[in-house]
């Protein structure tokens, strides 16, 4: 089993930022209760950047894939097609030492 960390940058179109923020806030509790989720944290920039940032820690790739398969996650992903200004930028990380 290999722990996996994710840093995601989500850039919604200005007219859809509130919807995107609410959608992610709406899945926080369910995601945090999923098996294998160690951390699922939504952040916003302290300045004027409208991007949304997710910091995630999963026990392994299988837990992350199970998360992506959840209906509530698929619903958010489907809405992203209309809401986002660009593709979500995902950085996958593993502990170096």
Per-domain residue ranges of the chain? 4-93
pLDDT digits (tens, 9 = 90+) for 31-61: 999 999 999 999 998 888 899 999 999 999 9
Q: Are 41 and 29 in contact (CB under 8 A)?
A: no
Nearest alpha carbon to residue 67 among 45, 87, 43, 39: 39
Q: How far is CA 50 from the centre of its chain?
A: 15
Tell whether the model's pLDDT for residue 14 goes beyond 60. yes
What is the fold of 4-93? Alpha-Beta Plaits (3.30.70)
Residue 76 burial by Cβ neighbours in a 10 Å radius (0-12, 13-18, 19+):
middle
Give the dihedral sign, CA 13/90/79/44. Answer: negative
All residues at 6 or more sequence positions from 20 whose CB lies less than 8 Å from its CB, including other chains: 10, 12, 52, 79, 80, 83, 84
pLDDT digits (tens, 9 = 90+) for 55-83: 999 999 999 999 999 999 999 999 999 99
SS3 80: helix
Res. 95 pLDDT band, cuts 50 70 90: confident
């Amino acid at each position: 089993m290999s722990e996996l960390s994710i840093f995601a940058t989500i850039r919604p179109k200005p007219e859809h930022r509130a919807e995107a923020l609410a959608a992610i806030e709406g899945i926080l509790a369910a995601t945090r209760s999923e098996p294998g989720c160690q951390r699922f944290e939504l952040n916003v920039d302290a300045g004027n950047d409208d991007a949304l940032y997710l910091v995630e820690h999963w026990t392994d790739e299988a837990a992350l894939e199970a998360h992506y398969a959840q209906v509530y996650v698929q619903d958010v992903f489907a809405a992203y097609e209309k809401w986002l200004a660009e593709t979500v930028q995902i950085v996958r990380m593993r502990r170096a030492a």
